[in-house]
Amino acid sequence: MQFGIFGVGDISPDPTTGHTQSEAERIGNLIKIARRADEVGLDVFALGEHHNPPFVMSSPPALLAHIAALTDRIILSTAVTLITTNDPVKIAEDYAMVQHVAKGRLDLMLGRGNTVPVYPWFGKDIRQGVPLALENYNLLHRLWREDVVDWEGRFRTPLQGFTSTPRPLDDVPPFVWHGSIRSPETAEQAAYYGNGFFANHILAPNFHFKPIVELYRRRYEHYGHGTAEQAIVGLGGQAFVAKRSQDAVDTYRPYFENYPVFRGSKLEDYMAGTPLTVGSPQEVIEKVLTFQEGFGDYQRQLFSVDALGLPLDMALEQVELLGTEVVPVLRKEMAVRRKPGIPDAPTHASLVRAKYGDAEPRQPRPNPNRGDNLSGTSPYQDSDPAVEASFPAAF
């Protein structure tokens, strides 16, 4: 079971001081939070892509690559990478590069994005959001698995003889999670490919997303990747911890009640009716254990801890409390409750083992430049000679 934190780099004024972090401060703080998460033994740090103020996180791969250099163990991920407005070719290239520099400590979560104006900024149309996401992933999947891709689809120019570089580390693509809360098509795609499925279990009544997780699980089994119980499920969550329960509520209340989404709502109502937990470590532990009971054994739990304008010291304290007081207990308790035969979330190491066993992983070495900046019809020295690149004839 992996535990981690995720955020979207939102900037909002601290309601208790009026201070608004500059973009430079927020970026610096995100790096500090990631390092602390690594130090206290959390498993995952994930950043979500956004393209408009008050969010600062337009380029997760750039920041994740930097964080990779400053951390040792933590898996870096996204929450989410936009599979609609990004060109899947660029996603394949960027994240393969980060996967290399992070030495395999990278996976990613794909999502559609639901901010209407963002789509045209990238030449896309939200009304095509679902098929765009589905088609783009189909292509991404191939780009990371086939040296040479000929492809033709509806939403981008065709590819002829295209090789996405660098090839994934050890020729093993980063593990992919599909994030969704309402599209059965996304659950179906995750199940079809045997990828992970992540339901952002926040901002909605507790277990509201159980039907779609259930759908994914049963289709995962349908496609023969394992039993429904063995499907790879992740959940989002929101927590604020203090040693004493009342301190947590008192400290968190102004942040909660001044945040736009929650204005007019009572913190207590959200604590009672949604996955949000504000309280002592024990209270957070008990709530998360209900997720395991409700959703079945799952593989990844991410918490949002640095949103709502929380200042850096408070966010770092949250990471610390999660890493030292909450997660160690949850690891034990959830392991005890876990049914036998439930796999962990795939990691680079486990995927390499699954692909190669004890053999050496493939290390692609390109053929030499022919003089026209191409390496010929087979891009790599060990490329399958039967698969030849057929370059566009226009030149």
Partner 1 sequence: MNDLTPAVTSFTIALVNAGVSDPSSTRLLADRIAQKTVDILEASGTTATVRAIDLGPLAVDIAQGIVSGILNPKVQTAMELLAGADAVIAATPVYKAGISGLFKSFADLIDNDLLIAKPVVLAATGGSARHAMVVDDQLRPLFGFLRTIPVPTSLYCAPEDWASTDLGKRIARAAQELSVMLRSGAGRQIADSNWSGYDHQFGGNATRAQRSLDDVDFTTDFMRLATGASARPQDGDRADVR
* Residues in touch with partner 1 (CB under 8 A): 130-131, 134-135, 138, 141, 152-155, 182-186, 188-189, 192, 203-205, 208-209, 211-212, 214-215, 218-219, 261-265, 269, 273-274
CB of 211 to partner 1, least distance (A): 5
Q: Of 30 and 139, which CB lies nearer to partner 1 in the complex structure?
A: 139
Contacts 24+ apart (CB under 8 A), 272-276: 273/205, 273/206, 274/202, 274/203, 274/204, 274/205, 274/206, 275/201, 275/202, 275/206, 275/235, 275/237, 275/238, 276/202, 276/238, 276/239
Burial 317-343 (b: 16+ CB within 10 A, else e): bbbbbbbebbbbebeeebeeeeeeebe
Q: Of 41 and 131, which CB lies nearer to partner 1 in the complex structure?
A: 131
C-alpha separations of 199 from 67, 86, 247, 274, 291 in Å? 25, 21, 29, 14, 12
Rounded Cα distance, 11 and 32, in Å: 16
Partner residues linked to 304 by β-bridges: 238
CB of 180 to partner 1, least distance (A): 9
CB of 122 to partner 1, least distance (A): 18
What would the two tokens of residue 72 be?
Answer: 């040792």
CB of 270 to partner 1, least distance (A): 9
Q: Of 153 and 166, which CB lies nearer to partner 1 in the complex structure?
A: 153
Partner residues linked to 238 by β-bridges: 304
Q: Of 204 and 352, which CB lies nearer to partner 1 in the complex structure?
A: 204
Q: What is the DSSP string of 314-381?
A: HHHHHHHHIIIIIHHHHHHHHHHHPPTTPPPPP-HHHHHHHHHTTSPPP---BPPP-SSS---SS-BT
Partner residues linked to 178 by β-bridges: 110, 197
CB of 142 to partner 1, least distance (A): 9
Q: Of 212 and 248, which CB lies nearer to partner 1 in the complex structure?
A: 212
Q: Of 157 and 369, which CB lies nearer to partner 1 in the complex structure?
A: 157
CB of 185 to partner 1, least distance (A): 5
CB of 76 to partner 1, least distance (A): 27
Q: Of 185 and 382, which CB lies nearer to partner 1 in the complex structure?
A: 185
CB atoms within 10 A of CB 304: 24
CB of 263 to partner 1, least distance (A): 6
Q: Of 261 and 359, which CB lies nearer to partner 1 in the complex structure?
A: 261
